[in-house]
């Protein structure tokens, strides 16, 4: 009898080239995505060793982190980023790597662009020097982020060295309540289990709630696998996956499509497959989530109060919670609802796809951004931007007083010209709320697109369930 295996196990086994000993394996890489903020050194290394890129046709470059997202932006709009952006252009052209740069209609945040172009299909190994690479796992791929030295290794050999992770299965059962979406599920999971719970694991998300979820929602969940401590997060492919991929630029076509489908259908986890750890989440009890502290695990339902560190038994964790509250400028037991904000940011590889913008627009339509609040929408890719404009969403946001931007990482992290000012409080759809993440002494609250839109129009952290929707 063939031993039942998980999708992770199947992808792993079909990509191992050699066991190197000491638990380390050499794996074949199907897709390598590179971005401007983390590839320069790798190309320098190649040059020093007089090596070339082994498979430029399997390597794709994007400029996203450092670029300005201001309307009409050029490479010069953010002078501090110019050097890295032009270096990226030089490196890609020298090595024959396709680059989606600012002038390209396919530009955007790498983890939005790669699935959108059909570059990612089930069963692939996908790597990139960026921690949110697991986003691509939503398509049934094994996708993970690594460091710059690994970039050089993959560029030179199209292989990567890795220790085999353990397998974790998270089952989302029950039903989603009103205004509860993928972002709330993943924040809730991280809050309940902790930011290290998936450390050393490749995660498979499954269950009826995942099966009923759109590809974009699945990407949001897989995106935050790293905030849950995981190496990778993935979802077995189904008709939703195949429909999403069909017809995309780089997706298999014609006879190749049928052959690919036949192969993808063999990938799902076998019924009796064993996992090293299992977690079950009852989605029926989840309210819209908002973070109160400085890790994505510092999160509660919008109808709850900020926890009191005094009640935390472990002295290290108690001190961390106290420090988080001090940094974020809030008090124990304070209700989250009603806390005034300065900035609302809708964007990032977690929540900047068309359905995210639609969910936000449904709240914003017919309302105005609250006085004193700076609000911006940054589509995840130029193609998302165009699609949103075709639906008139840009008009909804602009009429309300939002900025409507070009694609890029923008205010998700403070390494471009968008920053949250010191002491300001920002409601953000991104994935990280660490100290100084959005700029020195910035304060970040993570939430879903609908919840951030609700805060933008009311000026305070708001229970989106209480607002009428367009
Ligand atoms: C700059 C990049 C390497 C980094 C990452 O790895 O995630 C960034 O995308 C982030 O979100 O902090
Ligand atoms: S949007 Fe944010 S989290 Fe995503 S790749 Fe860019 S900086 Fe990293």
What is the secondary structure of 131-155 as a DSSP string?
TTGGGGGGGT-EEEE--HHHHHHHH
Q: Is residue 76 part of a domain?
A: yes
Cα 207 to averaged position of ligand 1 atoms, centre (Å): 29
Q: Is 349 touching ligand 1 by the criterion CB < 6 Å?
A: no
Whichever domain contains 441, its CATH number is: 3.30.499.10
State which residues of the chain have pLDDT below 70: 1
Q: How far apart are CA 347 and CA 152, in angstroms?
A: 30
Q: Is residue 228 part of a domain?
A: no
**pLDDT of amino acid 125:** 98
Query: Do both 313 and 457 map to the same domain?
Result: yes
Q: How far apart are CA 290 and CA 426, in angstroms?
A: 12
**What is the CB-side half-sphere exposure of residue 434 using CA atoms within 13 A?**
8
Atom number of ligand 2 nearest to Cα 413: 7
Contact indicator for 31, 124 with CB cutoff of 8 Å: yes
Which ligand is located closest to the Cα atom of residue 37?
1
In terms of C-beta density within 10 A (0-12 exposed, 13-18 middle, 19 or more buried), how is residue 465 classed?
middle
Cα 220 to averaged position of ligand 1 atoms, centre (Å): 16
Q: How far apart are CA 18 and CA 10, in angstroms?
A: 16
Q: How far apart are CA 377 and CA 107, in angstroms?
A: 16
Instruction: Identify which of 376, 372, 400, 396 has the alpha carbon closest to the alpha carbon of residue 459.
Output: 372
Please identify, among 163, 179, 208, the residue that sits at the C-terminal boundary of a domain. 163
Q: Is residue 235 part of a domain?
A: no
To which residue do tokens 């790798």 refer?
42
CA distances to 143, 161, 162, 266, 317 from 17, rounded to whole Å, are 17, 10, 11, 21, 42
Q: How far apart are CA 447 and CA 438, in angstroms?
A: 15
Contact indicator for 241, 205 with CB cutoff of 8 Å: no
Cα 131 to averaged position of ligand 1 atoms, centre (Å): 6
92 is in an annotated binding site: no
Pocket of ligand 2 (CB under 6 A): 65, 109, 130, 132, 348-349, 409, 412-413, 430-431
Q: Choose the residue to mutate in 109, 131, 149 for probing ligand 1, maximizing ligand atoms within 8 Å of C-beta.
A: 131
Q: Is residue 253 part of a domain?
A: no
Query: Do both 445 and 308 map to the same domain?
Result: yes
**pLDDT of amino acid 42:** 95
Q: Is residue 282 part of a domain?
A: no
Please identify, among 163, 189, 216, the residue that sits at the C-terminal boundary of a domain. 163
CA distances to 258, 301, 325, 362, 394 from 428, rounded to whole Å, are 41, 16, 18, 17, 19
Q: Whose CA is nearest to atom 4 of ligand 2?
A: 349
The residue length of the chain stands at 470
Instruction: Identify which of 82, 60, 196, 54 has the alpha carbon closest to the alpha carbon of residue 128.
Output: 60
**pLDDT of amino acid 468:** 87
Q: Is residue 136 part of a domain?
A: yes
What residues have CB less than 8 Å from 232, skipping those under 6 apart?
A: 8, 133, 134, 137, 142, 143, 144, 165, 202, 203, 225
Q: Is residue 102 part of a domain?
A: yes
Please identify, among 141, 163, 185, the residue that sits at the C-terminal boundary of a domain. 163
How many domains is the chain partitioned into structurally?
A: 2
Q: Is 132 touching ligand 1 by the criterion CB < 6 Å?
A: yes
Instruction: Give the pair of three-digit tokens for residue 318.
Output: 């108690």
Torsions phi, psi for 40 (to 5 deg): -55, -50
**pLDDT of amino acid 353:** 98
**pLDDT of amino acid 1:** 66
Q: Choose the residue to mutate in 37, 84, 348 for probing ligand 2, maximizing ligand atoms within 8 Å of C-beta.
A: 348
Q: Whose CA is nearest to atom 6 of ligand 2?
A: 409
Angle at 398 between CA 397 and CA 401, to 5 degrees: 90
Atom number of ligand 2 nearest to Cα 431: 3
Q: Is residue 184 part of a domain?
A: no
- For residue 185, give the H/E element and its range: helix 182-193
Containing structural domain, residue 141: 7-163
**pLDDT of amino acid 38:** 85
Instruction: Give the pair of three-digit tokens for residue 347.
Output: 């964007």
**pLDDT of amino acid 159:** 98
Strand-strand pairing, 98-100 and 59-62: parallel
- For residue 167, give the H/E element and its range: strand 166-173
**pLDDT of amino acid 356:** 98
128 is in an annotated binding site: no
DSSP 434: -
């Amino acid at each position: 009898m063939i031993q039942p295996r998980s999708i992770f196990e199947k992808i792993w086994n079909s990509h191992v080239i050699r066991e190197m000993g000491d638990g380390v394996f050499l794996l074949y890489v199907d897709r390598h995505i590179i971005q401007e903020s983390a590839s320069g050194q790798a190309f320098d290394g190649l040059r020093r060793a007089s090596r070339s890129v082994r498979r430029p046709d399997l390597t794709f470059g994007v400029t996203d982190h450092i670029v300005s997202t201001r309307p009409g932006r050029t490479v010069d709009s953010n002078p501090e980023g110019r050097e890295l952006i032009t270096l990226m252009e030089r490196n890609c052209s020298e090595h024959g790597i396709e680059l989606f740069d600012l002038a390209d209609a396919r530009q955007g945040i790498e983890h939005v662009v790669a699935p959108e172009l059909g570059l990612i299909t089930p069963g692939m190994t996908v790597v990139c020097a960026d921690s949110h690479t697991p986003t691509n796992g939503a398509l049934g791929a094994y996708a993970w982020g690594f460091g710059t030295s690994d970039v050089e290794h993959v560029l030179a050999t199209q292989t990567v060295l890795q220790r085999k992770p353990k397998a974790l299965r998270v089952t989302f059962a029950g039903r989603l309540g009103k205004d509860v979406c993928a972002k709330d599920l993943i924040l809730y999971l991280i809050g309940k289990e902790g930011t290290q719970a998936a450390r050393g694991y490749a995660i498979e998300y499954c269950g009826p709630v995942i099966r009923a979820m759109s590809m974009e929602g699945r990407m949001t969940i897989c995106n935050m696998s790293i905030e849950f401590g995981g190496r990778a997060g993935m979802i077995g492919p189904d008709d939703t996956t195949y429909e999403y991929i069909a017809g995309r630029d780089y997706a298999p076509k014609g006879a190749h499509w049928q052959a690919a489908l036949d192969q993808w259908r063999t990938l799902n986890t076998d019924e009796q497959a064993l996992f090293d750890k299992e977690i079950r989440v009852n989605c029926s009890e989840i309210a819209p989530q908002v973070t109160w502290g400085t890790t994505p695990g510092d999160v509660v339902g919008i109808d709850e109060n900020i926890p009191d560190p005094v009640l935390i038994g472990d002295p290290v964790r108690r001190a961390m919670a106290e420090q988080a509250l001090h940094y974020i400028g809030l008090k124990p037991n304070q209700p989250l609802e009603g806390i005034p904000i300065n900035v609302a940011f809708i964007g990032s590889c977690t929540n900047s796809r068309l359905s995210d913008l639609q969910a936000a627009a449904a709240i914003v339509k017919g309302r105005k951004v609250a006085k004193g609040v700076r609000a911006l929408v940054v589509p995840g890719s130029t193609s998302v931007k165009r699609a949103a404009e075709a639906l008139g969403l840009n008009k909804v946001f602009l009429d309300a007083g939002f900025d409507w931007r070009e694609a890029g990482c923008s205010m998700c992290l403070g390494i471009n010209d968008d920053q949250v000012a010191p002491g300001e409080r920002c409601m953000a759809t991104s994935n990280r709320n660490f100290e100084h993440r959005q700029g020195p002494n910035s304060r970040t609250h993570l939430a879903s697109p609908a919840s951030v839109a609700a805060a933008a129009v009311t000026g305070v952290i708001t229970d989106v369930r209480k607002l009428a929707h367009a």
